[in-house]
Amino acid sequence: MASQQRRFTRFARTIAVAASATAIIALSACSSGGGGGGDGSDLGFTPAEQVKDSPITVWVDASREPAIEAFQAKYPDIDVNVETYDGNASGSGSFQTKIALFDQAGEGWPDVVFSTQNNDASWASKETNGVQAFAAPVNKGWFDQDFLDGFTPGSLDPLTVDGTVYGLRNDLAQSVFWYDQALFDQFGYEIPTTWEEYEQLSDKLAAEHPGYILGSVGDAFLGMLVYYWGAQAPVFQLDGDTFSSDVSAENSQKMTELLDHMVANGTLTKDSVFSSDFVQKYQGKALGMPGPVWFTGALFQNPDSLNVPAGQIGAGAPLHWEGEEIATGNVGGGTWFASSHTKNLDAVKTMMEFVTSSDEYQVELTGGYPAYADAAEKWIAKQANGGYFVGDFEQTVVDAASQVWSGWGYPSFSAETAYSKIVLPALAAGDTIESVAPEWQQEMENEAQVQGYTVAQ
């Protein structure tokens, strides 16, 4: 057995280096050159000189460590260096910043990277100051088309730039309406199907059962990717190199008013769903909440979170506005990127295929709905047959996978950063979202301009 190298490191950075990397990013973010193609190779990029059996370096967040452990168990002869990082969570920019430094140095790139941000292909597909794009195309001859065709239709769209696919999705994170059937039965309520019914229910709940909740606005991903995306609100859109945000559009305003109303009546908490306060206050008191499929493992079946007993939790269809078609948001879903600079294409390809499609990881170990269709079918059957959920959990989740609203944009910056900077502090201070909506839109537009986009007026 080849030696296994396992290094868990935290990225250290100095202010000076970070500032330098930020400057590089700003200058190169909207480079028109697609770095991955146009090189004359049959892979869509120029491969590095290959070194047989060379180790590969993989960056993952803590949640994806089991994927690498499962890979190492199945492929013990492939040497893997594992480095943990924040997964670019909440649009931290750590992935892009580090790659910019390696681009500047001309060496040191990781071979495979997991990112929680599906918009990373927008910058990772671009060459930087003459350096080949970090993300290698996967649909130009490197991966078999039969394998790529196995992904759920549309799941690779966020990673597709001008027809070239620059990564593989880990899972789909479509949102549904989670409900506690036992509490609904106890209170005699009907499960809402629209945003209007959801708001009306909040008034009854606040009056009759204060202390119980219907969700949280304490995380940027909930505000942006569950509520505003699910409301089909045009607050984060991209058309070519033109970014637009309209917090005053009808659906944007309706969602803002709904959130402010439910925060005021106490049925939307301002606590993060990952905080200890949330668990202490709302274990057994969450009547329902819109949220991604991965809430199953992260909250409901997690002994350290809501820890809801079997036979109570169900998944309802995504909430939508009355008179509009069902649409929903998408919270992450994560992406695996392969480096165009790797010296071991065979090992990288083997890992990319394993972490996205294998039963060992995607069916047996993940808490989210796999993007690879065959794994998704097995995963959902396993969940449905486990006896934990009530109602038609399986069909609801499957349907929601194809109901993600396509009007959302994937620019090179996160939808969460402006919300975290402007909206979350305002809520914490007791202000409304409406009171800071213009400032929030301006912050998104400023980010777009810094990244080199044209901002629609």
**pLDDT in tens for each of the 457 residues of the chain?**
333 333 333 333 333 333 344 444 443 444 333 344 445 468 999 999 999 999 999 999 998 999 999 999 999 999 999 999 998 876 678 999 999 999 999 999 999 999 988 889 989 999 988 899 999 999 999 999 999 999 988 889 889 988 999 999 999 889 999 999 999 999 999 999 999 999 999 999 999 999 999 999 999 999 999 999 999 999 999 998 999 999 999 999 999 999 999 999 999 999 999 999 999 999 999 999 999 998 988 899 999 999 999 999 999 999 999 999 999 998 877 899 999 999 999 999 999 999 999 999 999 998 789 999 999 999 989 888 888 999 999 999 999 988 999 899 989 888 999 999 999 999 999 999 999 999 999 999 999 999 999 999 8
How much is the pLDDT for 118? 82
Which helix (H) or strand (E) is 83 found in, with range? strand 80-84
Measure the CA–CA gap between 320 and 341, rounded to whole angstroms.
44
Question: Encoding tokens for residue 106?
Answer: 């001309």
Residue 240's φ and ψ, nearest 5 degrees, are 65, -120
Per-residue model confidence (pLDDT) at position 383: 85
Taking the C-alpha atoms of residue 320 and residue 328, their distance in angstroms, rounded to an integer, is 8
Burial class (CB in 10 A: 0-12, 13-18, 19+), 270: middle
- Give CA–CA dist 142/44, Å, rounded: 8
- Residues in a beta bridge with 213: 286
Task: Quote the pLDDT of residue 108.
Answer: 96
Distance, CA of 26 to CA of 230 (rounded, Å) = 30
Q: N- to C-terminal Cα distance for the chain?
A: 61
CA-atom Rg of the chain in angstroms: 22
Quote the Cα angle for 174-177-180, to 5°.
135
Comparing CA positions, the residue from 345, 368, 377, 371 lying closest to residue 356 is 371
Burial class (CB in 10 A: 0-12, 13-18, 19+), 421: middle
Q: Output the pLDDT for position 177.
A: 98
What's the rounded Cα separation, in Å, for the pair 124 and 35?
A: 9
Say how far apart CA 264 and CA 63 lie, in whole Å: 34
Which of 143, 163, 164, 148 has its CA nearest to residue 36? 164
Task: Please give the Cα distance from 369 to 377 (Å, whole number).
Answer: 9
At residue 59, the 3 state secondary structure works out as strand
Q: From 58, 149, 82, 70, select the one nearest 344 (Cα to Cα).
A: 58
Instruction: Return the ∠ at Cα 273 (arms to 418 and 432), rounded to 5°.
Output: 45
> What per-residue confidence (pLDDT) applies to 6?
35
SS3 state at 62: helix
Backbone φ and ψ of 84, nearest 5°: -90, 145
Report the half-sphere exposure of 253 (CA within 13 A, side-chain side).
Answer: 3
Nearest to 225 by CA among 135, 118, 131, 298: 118
pTM above 0.85, yes or no: no
Q: pLDDT at position 39, please?
A: 53
Long-range contacts of 186-192 (CB under 8 A, 24+ apart): 187/287, 189/287, 191/288, 191/314, 191/316, 192/288, 192/316, 192/319
Token readout for 254 is 């309706």
pLDDT of 27: 37
What letter represents residue 77's amino acid?
D
Which distant-in-sequence residues (6+ apart) come within 8 Å of 354 by Cβ?
A: 70, 71, 74, 75, 360, 361
Instruction: Find all residues with CB under 8 Å of 12, minimum gap 6, and list them.
Output: none
Measured CA to CA, the distance from residue 353 to residue 334 in angstroms comes to 15
286 phi and psi angles, rounded to 5 deg: -100, 100
**Torsion angle defined by CA atoms of residues 152, 155, 331 and 66, in that order, rounded to the nearest 10 degrees:** 70
Token pair of 395, please? 């069909």
